[in-house]
Amino acid sequence: MAWLKKLSPRLFLFLAVIGPGIIAANADNDAGGITTYSIAGAHFGTKMLWILLLITFSLAITQEMGVRIGLVTRQGLGGVIRENFGVRWTAFAMLAMLVANLGTMTAEFAGVAAAFEIFDVSKFLVVPLAALLIWLILFKGSFKTTQKIFLIFSCFYIVYIINGFLIKPDFGQAVKDMVTPTIEWTTPFLLTMIALIGTTITPWGQFFIQSYVVDKGLNLKQYKMEKLEVFIGAFITDIVSFFIIISTAATLYKYGIHITDAKDAAIALRPLAGNLAQYLFAFGLFSASMLGAFILPTATAYAFCEAFGWESGFNTTWENGKFFYGIILLSLVLPALIVLLPKISLIKIMILSQDVNGILLPFILIFVMKIINDKKIMGEHTNKPIGNIISWCTIVGIIAATIILVVSSIVGLN
């Protein structure tokens, strides 16, 4: 890369920090992500695009805060919470993250099952196999290489962008919907809306980006470049989300087709891939699910061990690392079992798990906000007013939506 350094120093500086933002953002579009965006488009057309536009800013801002806390404290989020809020709040935060992550893992396995359903392969075969494969690779294989492979696979999202142009959607309507907030006071709409937020900004994403920055060893001098990377990452993710939504809006919503399984969602890719659409979708769903399923168990276990001072890493013995291995096993076995329940709707799992993420997100974000505005922790790197406004709006927005959802389901608005 020496030649690049001479040729274009700025580009070199940027490439040196690349990773955290893009990877975190890309991994956001996992099984739960694809499903939620597909459903948002198929069931409600382009009506939710305004939310997508708003949460793009929220995603950028919240991820940037994670980066900043990581750079200043040089610790993961779990460790920072423990050292500043004590053990009770830590237990609370970690429990919230655990539940959210178990939900997401369930979505990933549901994604694997749904992908193979297209080929008529039983979930009772593929889900245990996938769990076993992940366990083996985590133990014996190269985590990094595997992560890269699935990351490259998940570039399949580009097909949605091409597809989005091929179907010649009504871009005018899309832009109009993007700037005019519309809300339906129905349970399905609110559920989808919270899932949309919860799949884009996630509790684990907050933990993940902070640890990534610390592990990659970026320093404060690289902050500006890293910030740019995070913003670009957020933008790219939501561009993809945008095209998934308009693709399903133009193909499914238009004809009133509701998504009940992966085959329905795959119809959206017909304009590009024709009869191959199903296979293309299955491949994309599978690799996206596997990428998430690889990252999540270890990320969860590391965060717990950091917060509670347990030994971690794959080179510890079973005796010393019982919590570390225990959490990894738990996040593989329990979600796999849930997916294997007979007659459970895979699509519902995928979207409801994102709701769980969305509902738990504000709790994690409040910790992030307390930390980032604490001068004792952050020194001169506390938040600017604009960051605070956007973050608090996100938090209040989700909480309000959740309350309305709960009330509406009790009163039975639907």
Partner 1 sequence: MPYLSGLLNSKIVDSTDEVVGKLKDVYIHPRVGEYAPLYYLEIKPLHKKHSVFVPYNFVENFSKEEISLKTVFSKIPTEHVLPDHYLGLSHYVMDQQIVDMVGARVVRVNDLRIGDFEDKMCVLGIDVSFSGLLRRLGLTFLDVFKVLKVNLIDWRKAQPVKGVLKLDMVAKELTHLHPADLANIVEDLSIRSGSKLVNSLDAESAAKVLEEIDPKLQKLLVHQLTPEQTTRILTKMSVDEVVDLLKGLPDEEGQTILSYLQNGKLKKIKKLLHYKDDTAGGLMTTDYIGVKPDWTVKQAVKEIKKNFDIMRSILYVYATDENEKFLGAVSMRWLLISEPDLLIRDLLKEVSPSSILHPEQPVRDVINVMTKYDLNMAAVVDENNKMLGVVSIDDIMRHLAPHA
Binding site for partner 1 (CB under 8 A): 73-75, 79, 82-83, 86-88, 90-91, 214, 217, 219, 307-309, 311
Burial 192-217 (b: 16+ CB within 10 A, else e): bbbbbbbbbbbbbbbbbbbbbbbeee
- CA–CA distances in Å: residue 237 to residues 111, 121, 158, 205, 243: 19, 30, 11, 13, 10
Of residues 95 and 386, the one with the C-beta less far from partner 1: 95
The pair of structure tokens assigned to 169 is 């959607």
* Smallest separation (angstroms) from partner 1 to the CB of 381: 14
Residue 32: what are its φ and ψ, rounded to 5°?
Answer: -60, -40
Of residues 47 and 82, the one with the C-beta less far from partner 1: 82
How far apart CA 277 and CA 170 sit, in angstroms, is: 22
* DSSP designation for 224: H
Of residues 255 and 318, the one with the C-beta less far from partner 1: 318
Neighbouring residues of 163: CB distance < 8 A, sequence distance ≥ 6: 243, 247, 268, 269, 271, 272, 273
Of residues 75 and 289, the one with the C-beta less far from partner 1: 75
The type of residue at 365 is L
* Smallest separation (angstroms) from partner 1 to the CB of 41: 43
Of residues 215 and 261, the one with the C-beta less far from partner 1: 215
* End-to-end CA separation in angstroms for the chain: 59
Q: Taking Cα atoms as reference points, which of 19, 2, 386 lies closest to residue 213?
A: 19
* Smallest separation (angstroms) from partner 1 to the CB of 311: 7
Angle at 358 between CA 354 and CA 364, to 5 degrees: 130
- Do residues 237 and 28 touch, judged by C-beta distance below 8 A? yes
Of residues 63 and 211, the one with the C-beta less far from partner 1: 211
DSSP string, 319-338: TTTHHHHHHHHHHHHHHHHH
Of residues 134 and 307, the one with the C-beta less far from partner 1: 307
Cβ–Cβ contacts within 10 Å for residue 384, how many? 7
Angle at 26 between CA 10 and CA 90, to 5 degrees: 100
* Smallest separation (angstroms) from partner 1 to the CB of 214: 7
Of residues 73 and 353, the one with the C-beta less far from partner 1: 73
Of residues 13 and 413, the one with the C-beta less far from partner 1: 13
* Smallest separation (angstroms) from partner 1 to the CB of 219: 5
* Smallest separation (angstroms) from partner 1 to the CB of 125: 37
Of residues 53 and 329, the one with the C-beta less far from partner 1: 329
* Smallest separation (angstroms) from partner 1 to the CB of 312: 9
Q: Taking Cα atoms as reference points, which of 100, 68, 62 lies closest to residue 201?
A: 62
* Smallest separation (angstroms) from partner 1 to the CB of 58: 28
The pair of structure tokens assigned to 226 is 């890293």
Of residues 264 and 311, the one with the C-beta less far from partner 1: 311
Angle at 199 between CA 289 and CA 269, to 5 degrees: 60
How far apart CA 320 and CA 97 sit, in angstroms, is: 23
Q: Taking Cα atoms as reference points, which of 353, 400, 281, 361 lies closest to residue 33?
A: 353
* Smallest separation (angstroms) from partner 1 to the CB of 10: 15
* Smallest separation (angstroms) from partner 1 to the CB of 69: 12
* Smallest separation (angstroms) from partner 1 to the CB of 374: 14
